[in-house]
A and B are shown apart, each in its own frame.
Chain A
Amino acid sequence: MMKLFKALGLTLLASTLAMGGASAQEKTVKIATEGAYAPWNFTGAGGKLEGFEIDLANDLCARMKVKCEIVSQDWDGIIPALQAKKYDAIMAGMNITEKRLETIDFAGPYASGPQGWGVLKDSPLTKLAGQGQRINIDKDPEAAQKIIEEWKPLLKGKTVGTQGSTVNAQFLDKYLKDVVTIREYKTTEQHDLDLAAGRIDAIFAAHSALKASTEKPEFKDMVIAGAGLTGDVLGRGVAVGLRKGDAELKSMFGKAIQSAIDDGTIRKLSEKWFKIDMTPQT
């Protein structure tokens, strides 16, 4: 029995070495995405990964002249699995935040967009202040504080859904914890379903994801309400997550993203998937 194990171990070792040797010629970069966050990344009808980030990842890999493998990974384990070296990079609508920077590095951002409220058409919460406005909490803290204070009386006692482990969950925890009941979901689709069913009064999510949902027939009664926010715990734009100290990959991704911004590829892909330009503003 021991012999068998040894033989197996050797074969494994040999094959790993062989693979290592092959990748020296053409580096393979394994990129993780969630696969449940339309239109950023989602699993299409045929079971294949699709979306803005899938197109962008393929484009960036061509620019970096590496072979890419895109895998899907549940959102709430996406950073621990990066650290455990299950893959080398994350492209999953992940915002750069101070908190995440303590653990991982980022290259980019490659896109940015505000976060805000999704409510049902006939809800009193459609009157949340700041409709159509976009406020950066870092640049204009007073305006942000003012609008959040205006939201509080309307939100008092309501139940709000958000995806767990996200900037949105952190925002609710920081600013509205004592005002609303917060429910955390595994995916954005789940809180959409619960809003439509009437289990929760509002959801707090990225405008891009909310907009994509409102275009689906089952969520046609959902609308975006109130101002869209960026900055502070909501982060500084969506970027490629990398292990700390992976300087080579960071500079490769950084250069590739910059060139994709410069030649308009990101604008083009963003308009294809989001119907608006989400190119990060510097």
Chain B
Amino acid sequence: MDFAFMQEAFLRLIGGIPLTLNLAFTSIAFGAVFAMLLALMRMSNIKLLDWPAQAYVFVFRGTPLLVQIFLIYYGLGQFRPTLDALGLWGFFREPYWCAVLALTMNTAAYGSEIIRGGLQAVPHHQVEAARACGMSGFLLFRRIIFPIAVRQALPAYGSEIILMVKATSLASVITMMEVTGLAAKMISQTFRAVEVFIVAGAIYLVLNFIITRIIMAIEWWLSPHLRRPPAIEPRLEAAHV
């Protein structure tokens, strides 16, 4: 194991971290909104909304992300005149936006199921208690259902975020030079696959370690009911009376 070379590899590969994180968080942000929408469609009890959402989740969860990236990038690339006419070519011309789109659509499908699970697991008695207090509709959703659902969905959603960080490595197939893209390029110049991939793997590991800590911190913050209440200090001045 050549540590001097691995250090060189590390210094080159960290150049890809901004793009890796950019792709991951842009698509997670768009994807979360879309996922929420899909989850609400599925729970609306309106068939016209429920069925398209179900079909969407079925298609995007049931096909590999790599295939989706290829279809969006190279597949749609062949319909340039149509996309030009629709004014969408500026978007699809860029590999960055194609990657973001594919990652967003994919994470929305998985995310919607996680959110739906979280929403459906909100205990019924809490909803009833809220109704008894006079809450209903959006207020009930905002104050009671949504916060509890988020708390319950967070562990699973955290996994999804980690999966997304790793999934960005697939963007290298459409010329995006994120960590994996840079690793492949460096291997082609040095032919030392083992060292470079070890460094690339370690970078993803560190990124995901930080992300898991952040998610754990949010979980802790959202679960005050599971923590021991702070001990109440006896009031000293009272003893002197």
Contact = CB atoms under 8 A, between A and B. Distances in A.
Interface of A: 76-77, 79-80, 83, 99-100, 103-104, 161, 164-166, 169-170, 183-186, 190, 193-194, 196-199
Interface in B12-37: none
Nearest to A183: B175
B187 A193 contact: no
B93 A169 contact: no
Interface in B55-108: 74, 77-78, 80, 93, 95
Contacts of A198: 80, 93
B184 A76 contact: yes
Nearest to A84: B193
Interface string B165-195: 0000000010101000100110111011100
Contacts of A165: 184-185, 187-188
Given A184-B175, A185-B175, A193 B191 contact: no
A77 B194 CA distance: 11
State the 8 A-B residue pairs at the shortest beta-carbon distance, nearest first.
A165-B188, A197-B77, A80-B193, A183-B175, A103-B191, A79-B191, A197-B80, A193-B74
Given A193-B77, A193-B78, A197-B77, A80 B187 contact: yes
B74 A164 contact: no
B80 A77 contact: no
Contacts of B95: 183, 199
A92 to B, nearest CB: 14
Nearest to A83: B191
A193 B181 CA distance: 20
A199 B187 CA distance: 26
9 contacts: A76-B187, A83-B191, A100-B191, A184-B175, A184-B185, A193-B78, A197-B78, A197-B93, A199-B95
Interface in B122-176: 173, 175
B191 A194 contact: no
Given A77-B187, A170-B189, A194-B77, 18 more contacts: A76-B184, A76-B188, A79-B191, A80-B187, A80-B193, A99-B189, A103-B191, A104-B191, A161-B175, A164-B188, A166-B188, A183-B175, A184-B175, A184-B177, A186-B173, A197-B93, A198-B80, A199-B95
Nearest to A197: B77
Nearest to A199: B93
A2 B129 CA distance: 58
A55 to B, nearest CB: 27
B187 A190 contact: no
Interface in B174-219: 175, 177, 181, 184-185, 187-189, 191-193
Nearest to B176: A183
Given A164-B188, A184-B175, A77 B193 contact: yes
Nearest to B192: A80
A197 B82 CA distance: 12
B78, B80, B181, B188 — most chain A CB neighbours (10 Å)? B188
Given A169-B188, A185-B175, A199 B77 contact: yes
Contacts of A161: 175
A186 B74 CA distance: 13
Nearest to A193: B74
A163 B136 CA distance: 59
Contacts of A193: 74, 77-78
Contacts of B175: 161, 183-185
Nearest to A75: B188
